[in-house]
Amino acid sequence: MKTIQKVKYLVLGMLIMVLFSIVVLPSLAAIYEKQITVSTGVNIYVDDERLDPIDANGNPVEAFIYNGTTYLPVRAVAEALGK
Please say whether the dihedral angle defined by the alpha carbons of residues 8, 13, 19 and 22, taken in this order, is positive or negative: negative
The widest CA-to-CA distance across the chain, in whole angstroms, is: 78
Class of residue 72 by CB neighbours under 10 A (exposed 0-12, middle 13-18, buried 19+): middle
Whole-structure pTM value: 0.56
pLDDT of residue 21: 83
Residue 27: other Cβ atoms inside 10 A: 8
Residues 54 and 77 in one domain: yes
Up-side HSE of residue 50: CA atoms within 13 Å toward CB?
A: 6
Total number of domains constituting the chain: 2
Q: What is the per-residue pLDDT across 53-69, written as a single tens digit (0 to 9) for each?
A: 998 899 999 999 999 99
Residues 30 and 48 in one domain: no
* pLDDT surpassing 70 at residue 14: yes
Residues 29 and 48 in one domain: no
